[in-house]
Each structure stands twice: as C-alpha cells, then as structure tokens.
Structure 1
Amino acid sequence: MTVKKSKNGGAEAQIKKLREQIDALDVKIQALISERARLALAVAETKQQEGSNNFYRPEREAEVLRNVLARNQGPLSEEAMARLFREIMSACLALESRLRIAFLGPEGTFTQEAALKQFGHAVETAPLAAIDEVFREVESGNAHFGVVPVENSTEGVINHTLDMFMASPLKICGEVALRIHHHLLGKGNDPQGAHSVVSHQQSLAQCREWLDANLPGVKRVPVASNAEAARLAAADVGTLAIAGDTAAQLYGLHMFASNIEDRPDNTTRFLVIGTLETVPSGNDKTSLLLSSRNRPGALQRLLAPLAKNKINMTRIESRPSRQSMWEYVFFVDIDGHMKDRKVAKALADLEKEAAFLKRLGSYPKAVL
C-alpha cells in the first residue's frame, strides 16, 4: 500500500491511522479465533458423548485447506494463507487432544519439517533414529501418527519405507509434499578451506552438479541424516554440511550458499502412517501392495482392471518379495478413494487377478 501525505499531519498521521485500523482488526481476528476454538471443543465433547476419541480427521482438514485456497484473493500467497489456517487448526486440535507424532530424526531433518507442515506446531514430535523405529512407535501406540519419507523427485524411492509396509499393519493416512532447499552450512569463515562436506547420501546426490562446480576437491561423506551433518559441521570448522533451514538454525551455522540443489523443483514426498481409516475427501489417493501370479503377461493382466475401470495409476514400484527368489511385489498409487464406486469395482477385479492384494490406505492428496 502506498502511503500518501495528508494535509492534517503528513505521513506519520496516515501511518498512525492505518495502525489503528490494524489494531481494530486484530481484536476482531482474535475474537473469531477464540470462537473457532470454542466450537472445536464443542465438536470434541459431542464426539466423546458418542464414544469416539478420534479427534483428528485428515479428510476434514484437507477440505478446510482447499476452501482456504479457493477463497484466497491475496495479497498473501495461497501457501502463506493455508499455513496460517494450518496453525489455527493445530492449536484448536491441541485443545481437544494433543497429538504425538513420530518422525525420522534427529531434530532438524526435512522429515520433521514435513511433520510440522502436516500437523502444525501444536503437536509433540518424537525424533527416532530409523524408519522401522517410526513404524514400531506408531504400532505400539506410543505415537498417534508417524511421518516417513517415501520418494524424492530427483533420486527416486526410499526402499526401506516401502519394505516396511509388507509386514506392518499400519495404514497410510496422508501425504506431504515438501520442496527441498539445500544449503551449504558451516562454522568457519571460508568454505574453500574445508576438508569435507557431509550430508545424507540422497542430499549429496541432489547437489552433485553444484559440488562438482564449486567444491571439486572437497571429500564428500555420507551420514545418516542432514541434521547429523549439521551437528558434525558445528563441531568442526573444516567440515561443511548440506542441510535445510531448520538444521542451520538449530546448530547455529553460517549459510555459505543457499538453494544449491541441482533441480529447482526438487521435492520429497512423505507419508503419514497410523491406524486411522479416512473417509473420502473429494480428492484422494489410494496406495496398494500387489503381487502377480507366475504366468506369461502377469503384470499386464494384473493392472488390466485399473484400465478397464478407467482408474488413473500415478505410480508403480517393484520390490523383492523376500518370500522366494525372483518374486516381486508392486507398490501402486491410484487416483480416488477405495470407497469410490469405480475404485471399489477395480479393487474387486484386482482381488480375482492378483496373487496378493493389500490395501495400504486411501487418504487426501497433499494440499500444501
């Protein structure tokens, strides 16, 4: 907004008037947020009277955020507006029941950023050392949900996550898409004097071209996580780390170069795992685990029910079944919810054709 000088006091008087208007709006906004919180508590009380203790509904939150995006007319961006509402919903939900979210740690990883993007900051987060530990924490009931990485747009799938679904009873309850920005971090004053650059092996791969051009003689050392890389860099001026904003802030590191990822669209997809079965939100995805019968044309026959029922398959990955040599299972993502009529018909046909079919879950597509 352009501030114009007025005849009765100039720019300072105009600014004072605008700030008074902002203060008046803040009072109204705060009152409305408090009223929303009271309504959220009323919803929780109604659920408790009906014997339900499940207060988190991902399909409802997805609906709210989609409506926020549809209503937004600026000047705030759609993402900024949606993140504001995410935090309001997170705070309101915490009044009903504070969620405990397990994630692939330690503190400062991109997985933690994904967890906070999905659930907001009014949750308790629990960093764990490995993907299988996140699954076990949720299976045991010590965490309501878990967040684990599943694929990167540059480097492909995270096999450990896919393999865990073969035996785990957990379902996929949601997904998070996180734009990954890598920064070169360190404690010293000159990155050219460093003897090594450390990061997760996928992050090193995602920044390969930048490292070749700018630090060709520096040794690259893969470590368990970007947060661990930041911790090592904080302890040694000769060590550089590739990590994100959260890790930089957590370990007090200088940012020598920002956004050094080779592809500007570098994105990682994360899955929310839990025991919850979601209802249709209107824009959903379903994940399946399949194996085919051992006969010619098995894969084509296996996937035929999807084409027959006009179901869009968005991803397919194969993994060794671990049951016998040279047998594989397929991880498949399709558009739609398993309760949708067309999807239900396709799954019924798949069951007849597949040697094995496991429904991993239907969930809202990532909104943010």
Structure 2
Amino acid sequence: MSQKEQFKQLRDRIDKIDDQLLGLLNERADCALAIGAVKETTAGAVVYRPEREAQILRRVIKASAGPLTPTQITGIYREIISACRSGEEKPKVAVLGPVGTYSEMAAVKHFGQEVAIEFETGIEEVFRSVETGDTDYGVVPVENSTEGGIAITLDCLVITSLRICGEIDLRIRHALIGKGAEAFGMVKVVRAHPQALAQCRKWLDRHLPNAERVPMASNAVAADEAARDACSVAIAAPEAAEHYGLAVLHRNIEDQTGNTTRFLIIGRQCLSGSGYDKTSLILSAHGRDAPGSLQRLLAPLATHEINMTSLQSRPSKTGLWEYVFFLDFEGHQEETLVSRALADIQKESALFKVLGSYPRSL
C-alpha cells in the first residue's frame, strides 16, 4: 500500500470516528437538556454542579487508556460539559478585569468557553457582585506558590456570606509586553499587579534595574497603559499582548519555575461531596497569650487523621497582634471524621467559620 493510500485509509477512519463522536455529543447534549427540564420542576435546583462535574472528570481520566494525557482529557471534557451546560444556562462569573487577566484565564479554564464573564475593577467588587446577585459566581486569587496569600481576598472571606464552591490551580507564565522589540531599550516604567512585580523581581533586577516599577490594579490594566506609552512595558500573560496590540518582548520572566496561583470559586450554594474534596475554615484562638492555643486548634486534625493542606494568618483587625487563621484540609464536612474534627475545633475557637467544602482542583 502506498503512503497516499495509507493516509486516505486513516483519514477515512478519522472521518467515521468524527461522525460517531458528533452523534454521541449531540446525544449527550440532549440528555443535559432533559436534566435541565427536570430541574425546572425542582425548587432550588441549580445549573452548575461542581461536585458532579468533578466526578465526571475524575471518572473519564481513570477510564482512559491513552494516548491522551489527563490534562488533555480534562480540557476536552470541560468544554463538552461547558457546551452542554449552556443549553440550560450560561453561568455569569465575575472576575478581576479588564480583558486579559489571569482571573479571566482561570475562569475559562474551569467553566469552559460557554460562560458569561463579567469584569470588575477589584477583588472586593467581585465579592460584591456575587453577594448582590448580579453574577452567579466569582473567581478570585487566594494564594501564589511564590508570594503566598492574597491579602485582600483573605480579608473579604472573613466578612462575606458567600461560600467556596471550588478551586483552580493556574500555572502562571509571565511575559514582558510592550509596543515592539525596539521598545525594550527605551523602557522607563514597568507596570504590573504588585504580585506580578514581586514574582519577577530578580528578572527585573537583572534586565531592567533602572526602570521604575509601578503597581497597577491588574496586569491587564498595566497592558492597557503600556499600549498608550512607548516608554512603558507591562508584565502580563502572553495572551494579553494580542488583545492590547502589543508585542511579547520576553517570555517566562517569573523567578520561580512552576509559579502557580490558586483561585477560589465563590458562590451561594452548599455542595455535596464529590469523593475528593477539600474544606476551608476561618479560626481564631481564645486569648493570644494562652500557651499552645494554636496547637489546640489544630490537634483534632491529627486526632482524626485528616491531612491539612494550607495554613495562613491575617491580622484580626480587632486587637493588637491578634490574628485569624485560614485553614484548608482534605475531606468534606459531611464525612464522619471531618464532622467530628470540626466539632472539636469549634470547641477551642473564639471565631469559627466554615467557608465551604468543595472538589479539589484537577
């Protein structure tokens, strides 16, 4: 068989498989629409069910024999789920704007392309948009693997009535973007969100030591400013360059390889368990001078053999050198051991607030 004949045979096979896939995808969409029709008769039913979607993704990843990788399968199925979900309704999701922020990228990574993105001017405004019902969900950064916790998000979590509905891990690849390659020698100002400036500190020290570093509300705002000023450049995602008519001058300028930001999905619903969940709490101890107070708060996790994944602190703003703690651990609050640990922790806490149980990031 000639090479041309081999290609034709294989391409014909691909065409047949595509026809089968198309039929199955439409059949799946019909099922999703039927589920939506049943939901319309059910009080309190919601379109977006993160625990169910997480179960689907983990099941298909486990069932796959390759050659597609888990990351590729996740990306494909998120878009299938997104398209089928949109037959019922597109979720309205608030993110830090404008166009081109990592928050937008995180939202699309999780919800897929079929989502109605609403851009807000700040993280507090994202919380407010969801609290008032203007949007269904919000996506906010909570911690970075290089720079740690995002203070404004943690502070908002203390006072909000919203719940955490999910998390997204987004690999952050910073680029230096500007008007053109010739602009690099003219740079007088580097603009970016404070976190981005901090994550690229060493690179900037080596390559642009004399440029002024100006913090901005978001990297996308920085890109917009760089588009107006030939002597200004921005740190942003490479994807932002095209939107703002800029060139990518240097890629991957972050100081730490593997630089990743964790985002939270905030909303108003309580979730059932998915089987692979995480629970988040806010705590404070009785009396900051009491020896071993923090140890007593955390001891129930060890007693009930629960794995803690994160511990952060912020000033309580109610007294000098008093702190609240943000705690994440594996498990769902409806699980027996987790429920017992929560009860024991609450006994030792001055402040005790469950932010939610939600599927772990994929």
TM-score by length of 1: 0.94
Deviation at 1:81, TM superposition (A): 1.9
- Aligned mate of 2:194, from 165, 190, 201: 201
The match for 1:304 is: 299
User: Aligned partners of 2:248 and 2:144: how far apart in 1?
Assistant: 24
**Residues of 2 paired with 1:357 and 1:277: CA distance?**
17
Task: Pick from 223, 235, 253 the counterpart of residue 230 of structure 1.
Answer: 223
Match of 2:319 in 1: 324
Shift of residue 201, structure 1, vs aligned partner: 1.5
- Say yes or no: does 1:29 pair with 2:21: yes
* Partner secondary structure for residue 166 of structure 1: helix
Letter in 1 for 2:67: P
Quote how far apart the aligned CAs of 1:128 are. 0.3
Deviation string, structure 1 residues 237-276 (Cα, Å, up to 9, x no partner): 2221111033112112211211111111100000000011
In the alignment, is residue 130 of structure 1 matched against residue 158 of structure 2?
A: no
Out of 117-126 and 215-224, give the one that drifted further: 215-224
Aligned residues: 359
Query: 206-215 or 84-93, which moves further after superposition?
Result: 206-215
Please say which of residues 71-80 and 197-206 is displaced more in the overlay.
71-80
CA distance in 2, matches of 1:300, 1:238: 52
* Correspondence for 1:59 among 48, 51, 56: 51
SS in 1 for 2:159: coil
* Among 342, 356, 360, the residue aligned to 1:361: 356
Q: State the secondary structure of the residue aligned to 2:142.
A: strand
Displacement, 1:207?
1.3
Q: Which runs of 5+ in 1 are unaligned?
A: 1-5
Whether the 8 Å contact between 2:106 and 2:139 is mirrored in structure 1 is yes
Letter in 1 for 2:320: M
Give runs of aligned pairs for residues 1-368 of structure 1, distance below 5 A.
6=1, 10-190=2-182, 191-294=184-287, 295-367=290-362
CA positional deviation for 1:68: 2.4
Report deviation, 1:199: 1.2
CA deviation vs aligned residue, 1:155-188 (integer Å, no higher than 9, x gap): 0100111111111100001000000001111112
TM-aligned CA deviation for residue 140 of structure 1: 0.8
Moved more, 149-158 or 159-168: 159-168
Please say which of residues 340-349 and 255-264 is displaced more in the overlay. 255-264
Q: Does the CA-based 8 Å contact 1:131-1:160 persist in structure 2?
A: yes
1:188 and 1:238 in contact (8 A); partners too? no
Moved more, 36-45 or 51-60: 51-60
Q: By how many angstroms is 1:71 displaced?
A: 2.7
| Paired amino acid for 1:269 | R
Tell me the amino acid that sits aligned with residue 123 of structure 2: I
Asked if 1 retains the 8 angstrom alpha-carbon contact of 2:96 and 2:218, the reply is: no
How far apart are the structure 1 equivalents of 2:237 and 2:257? 15
Give distance in 2, aligned partners of 1:302 and 1:91: 44
Q: What is the distance in 1 between the residues matched to 2:214 and 2:42?
A: 55
Q: Secondary structure at the match of 1:175?
A: strand
Letter in 2 for 1:353: E
